[in-house]
Structure 1
């Protein structure tokens, strides 16, 4: 795919300006675009673990396994792999290369690529804020479970608790109990009636009061995040050695335990059994493309930010291949962990596996899996390590998402924020905490679902699409490839160029159009979202994307000269 040459020793060459170097496009040499005062990763592994930690998140544990078995089991791996090769990985590589070459965040980088697209950077920051408003609440739920697990008998084991209802049915180990459509497991009632207390809310019209226990959990989460980010990559790079590696240890422990459970084989067969007819459905290919893009995370500005602290000659090509492969394999591994347990539950309930896993959302993590854990030998131990894994998985992604905003804003306004990082990070964390308060109410789960559906849905895909177009068509694919050659000593091959120019943007356009044309009714538990809330959701999605055309209009109106001059100025 590439032509190998000896890499240029970048850090020893004098600083130059890209626009004043007339031989740049024909004979690329190192062009220092950043002063040596910029922070750098202490070790290469700090960077790799940070990228892996961002890409491997809670969605790998619940979304991929469910989508896989919903869309043809083992057959789904075919569209998933193709979408990764031709769509996700090329854009992942592109963002790492952009961040490493220009050494700046998601806003100011557009001054050097195509200034008229600078609104993309502002849109990325707004999307990151929306994600922080709900994603950290899910981590707070996991922390609540983690705290509740330190007991001899897990609180979601029986129906004898104050929050249980007459519909609570504990069927494990009991042959005389019948499971009906009205039955609720102890784990489900613990999640809905104890953790969320959703029974005290009638929906988005009345979300109720704030759960103080969840506020304390969220405060602790943001405290950890603050002290991990306040000094920059020097501190966050050390924290990820724990948060990015611990989940793999826990996954392996849970996989071994799950494989020894009665009926585990039923879950594995269901997970991998190919349904070739599913491949004829457009929805399967849309799901595969959406899963790979949201899993790898191009467009969130995180890869730009993390790569901007690399040394100029770091091999970002190899990093992109390695971290993408780790992410995809982690998703596949987590499927085995989840479905061994689902097979066990199907065996215990005497039902089919498809009747156990009916929800791809957080309830798979907070109802289905905890229910199985509660009935294992050593349940307390497995509950503690499982929810500890969930907390660390979530923290990694939060580190990356907020670092993207921090880097973008500080690079855009260095004269104001250069020496005020600690204060700026504290202000950002405070904004995220206050923005999360509605998700901590009795009806907070409804708000989480709304933000999850619209806060970073089609808007982030549209951002990635415009980013790919701006780099490949406006900045120029040859110029971008020259940048890569200046860093790595070799030019990307024809495969990467074709993907960047045509295939990856086409995949993204396909997902966006298909998603907009097929909008299933939004519901959570038994609650159907009213029409006005769907309109609010669309406004949330549009509020970030609208920055892009607004900035284009501003640039065209206030910058003198022709369109070509405006585009380059």
Structure 2
């Protein structure tokens, strides 16, 4: 995940640097990267018209037109590679000392986005058309519940925002005291996470409503999924506001801090696990180990900074953590709740907190969570072809490589189970 996620943060760094001028570069069509199809926002669109924000992202930031896709990705774009390097340097100096340095960095990266969110919310709701955008956001579309993709996207969003299955929660909680109130922490963090997502929806859709008002469209015709929403639609909206340079700077600062927050957690999980497993070799030389690890990941990430890197980013996003994390979380839930047993797990929590979890939690652990996760995983497998959206058709060999990438994560679990059975003394079935 570190091979492509930090590249996306690098895109935000590129936008931040590009915003440090008197006029945002994606406001006009008079730049070297623009094509004859470029049409300013307030001009009437034609059949082949392309917005300046779209061309800036595709032809200036990514320069994907200089690539033929995964078959010929082109050279490394060094300005983008330098932006990604800056991200890795920030990550290193936040992780090199362990939770002490990470904790200090998180105070900034976790709290700063809330300040920016509220500033953008106040600005967003005052824009013309914001009411329509918010109304669209709050109006349920019940028929979408029949769409399996909606459930897959929702589950993926929760996994990426809360972090179950990545090892982040296990790594960070391993530093807690034995009697730490994990029940309170779980309720608090999950509630704050969901409320933050709900708040961010108002920020996004108020601006989408404004864009629909400006372009004389309906809200559903304005928005894009994935990077397009963050790097095309929102910057395009910012470009039409008074004081656009200021809004652009704080928006991309928020994106960078949010991205760094996620990167800290994921890498800390891996670093903590390896340092705990090899305390003499790695634990005592943490600074050197973290530096070597990040240099290795940066070298692996360089292909994503090529002209065709965006195609690789999409492939890694789908076949890297996308499918694997669903399976990992299901195995975790099944392993704890069905093999270890909910009763034993409840007694462990009682030993820590002084009371057993309620009936609701035991029902969730025993039935609802594992079965729901299994269902989502099966739906993901059946609809994997829909995940690689866009005009570009991925070659068959890349899909095969993607499945190998997914299998590399999935296979670790059954292989380790078999390995553990062989090295453990005693009979296969032992009753205690």
Give the shorter-chain TM-score range: over 0.9
* SS of aligned partner of 1:136: helix
Normalised to the residue count of structure 1, the TM-score between the two structures is 0.73
Aligned to 1:361: 226
In 2: Cα distance, 1:428 partner to 1:273 partner: 46
Quickly say closer, same or farther: Cα 1:283–1:235, change in 2 above 3 A.
closer
1:23-422 correspondence runs (5 A): 131-172=1-42, 177-357=43-223, 359-422=224-287
1:23-57 CA distances to partner (integer Å, 9 max, x unpaired)? xxxxxxxxxxxxxxxxxxxxxxxxxxxxxxxxxxx
Measured in 2, the distance between the counterparts of 1:325 and 1:411 equals 31
Give the deviation of 1:155 after TM superposition.
0.7
Q: Distance in 1 between matches of 2:319 and 2:151?
A: 21
Q: Tell me how far apart the structure 1 counterparts of residues 83 and 65 of structure 2 sit (CA, whole Å).
A: 21
Q: Deviations over 1:458-500 (max 9, x none)?
A: 2111111111111122223222222212221111112111211
CA–CA distance in structure 1, aligned partners of residues 90 and 154 of structure 2: 34
Distance 2:363 2:46 in 1: 54
Residue in structure 2 matched with residue 487 of structure 1 by the alignment: 352
Contact 2:96 2:290 in 1 (8 A): yes
| Rounded Cα–Cα distance in structure 2 between residues aligned with 1:522 and 1:181 | 27
> For structure 1, which runs of at least 5 residues remain unmatched after alignment?
1-130
The one of the two structures with greater contact order (alpha-carbon pairs below 8 A, sep at least 6) is 1
CA offset digits 1:225-259 (Å, max 9, x no partner):
11111111111111111110010110111111111
Q: CA deviation at 1:180?
A: 2.9
Cα distance, 1:460–1:523 mapped onto 2, change above 3 Å: closer
Displacement of 1:285 = 3.9
Give the Å deviation of 1:531. 2.1
Deviation at 1:178, TM superposition (A): 2.5
Structure 2 residue matching 1:456: 3-state secondary structure: helix
Counterpart Cα distance in 1 of 2:158 and 2:87: 27
TM superposition shift of 1:558: 4.2
Partner of 2:318: 453
My pick for the range that moved more, 329-338 or 272-281, is: 272-281
Structure 1 contact 258–340 (Cα < 8 Å) conserved = yes
More moved, 471-480 vs 207-216:
471-480
Report the alpha carbon displacement of residue 272 of structure 1 after superposing the two structures with TM.
1.3
Q: Distance in 2 between matches of 1:236 and 1:288?
A: 28
RMSD: 1.7
Residue ranges of structure 2 left out of the alignment (5+ in a row): none
Contact 1:465 1:508 in 2 (8 A): yes
The structural deviation recorded for 1:283 is: 4.5
Residue 425 of structure 1 is matched in structure 2 by 290
- Contact 1:244 1:393 survives alignment (8 Å): yes
Measured after TM superposition, the shift of residue 344 of structure 1 is: 1.0
Residues matched between the structures, number? 432
TM-score (normalised: structure 2): 0.96
Matching residue of 1:120: none
TM-superposition CA deviations, 1:313-359 (whole Å, max 9, x none): 221111111110111011111111111111111111111111111x2
CA–CA distance in 1 between the matches of 2:418 and 2:141? Answer: 49
Q: Does the 8 Å contact 2:315/2:388 carry over to 1? A: no
